[in-house]
Structure 1
Amino acid sequence: MPIRNASARWQGNLTEGSGTLRTGQGGYEGNYSFKSRFEEGEGTNPEELVGAAHAACFSMALSKALADAGTPGTSVETTAKVHLDKTDAGMTVTRIELDTTGQVPGIDEAKFVELAEAAKRNCPISRLLSPGAEISLTARLAS
């Protein structure tokens, strides 16, 4: 399997400095700062990137689970809300809320939720994050 790379550069002090980050193959490049992370400033932040990675990984895992069950989906759309909280150990990602909607012909809601829960457990990013963060899931079929 390939090894994936990403890089970041930070200039200046914590509160007034700024940085840029880039995925290894150039698919994404963006700015980040103290304000984009802890306030409402422009740019991205590590938590958004974790959320994007988790939503993408989970969506792919659910797509595979649906196909393996004989009910391939037309689409799976997932959002991830990443909670960064101050704990005794310092700033910590404590919780991630996954919310997914699938367009899946020929499946009932209960089976869809069952497969989504399995995908949550088996997605590599969920396995990475679950020892330290609570991961919840809301799954529904598109109407």
Structure 2
Amino acid sequence: MTVRDASAEWHGTLKEGSGRLRLGSGAFEGAYSFPSRFENGRGTNPEELIAAAHAGCFSMALTAVLGREGHIASNIHTIAKVHLGATAAGPTITRIELETEAHVAGLAAADFERLAQSAKAGCLVSRALAGVAAITLKANLVTH
């Protein structure tokens, strides 16, 4: 099986400290801090990286599901919105919203919705995040 890795380094206290997140491939490295995670400060955060992973995984899963039924999308664009909220357990990812738009010729909207929901259920990242209370999907088929 394939193993992927990333690393994080942190210096200082929770609120005044800072750190760096680094992908093992070297494709991304970025600063993160309390303000970038829990406020609107500069830098990245783990939830943003989860959103990127989920959007990428879902787009590939949708491509695969469409392909199994003989459809090829000329374009798929997915946005994942990871909601970080407060719960009795502390800060928690409370919801993830997937929004996807795909250009697929010759596909009925109802079939597209069914295939998109199948992709969401089969997406590796969706399955890994099954502990999130709600993962929603808004799928928009573009036909022109």
For the superposition of Structure 1 and Structure 2, which TM-score range results when normalised by the shorter chain? over 0.9
Q: Within 2, Cα distance between the matches of 1:97 and 1:54? A: 10
> What is the deviation of 1:14?
0.5
SS in 2 for 1:27: coil
* Number of corresponding residues: 143
Residue aligning to 2:109:
109
Given that 2:15 and 2:34 are in contact with CA atoms closer than 8 Å, whether structure 1 keeps it comes out as yes
Question: In structure 1, what is the equivalent of residue 28 of structure 2?
Answer: 28
The alignment partner of 2:73 has SS state of: coil
Shift of residue 119, structure 1, vs aligned partner: 0.4
Which residues of structure 1 form unaligned runs of 5+? none
Please give the alpha-carbon distance, in whole angstroms, between the structure 2 residues aligned to 1:54 and 1:132: 13
Q: Structure 2, unaligned stretches of length 5 or more?
A: none
Work out the CA distance in 2 between the residues paired with 1:40 and 1:56: 24
Cα separation, 1, equivalents of 2:20 and 2:129:
24
How far apart are the structure 2 equivalents of 1:73 and 1:127?
23
Tell me how large the CA RMSD over aligned residues is. Answer: 0.9
The alignment's TM-score, normalised by the length of structure 2, stands at 0.96
Deviation, 1:131, is 2.8
Residue 15 of structure 2 is matched in structure 1 by 15
Matched residue of 2:105: which SS?
coil
**Percent same amino acid at aligned positions?**
55
Give, in whole Å, the separation in 2 of the partners of 1:25 and 1:133: 31
Q: Which runs of 4+ in 1 moved over 4 A?
A: none
Q: Normalising by structure 1, what TM-score?
A: 0.97
Deviation at 1:72, TM superposition (A): 1.1
Q: Structure 1 CA distance, aligned partners of 2:22 and 2:133? A: 25
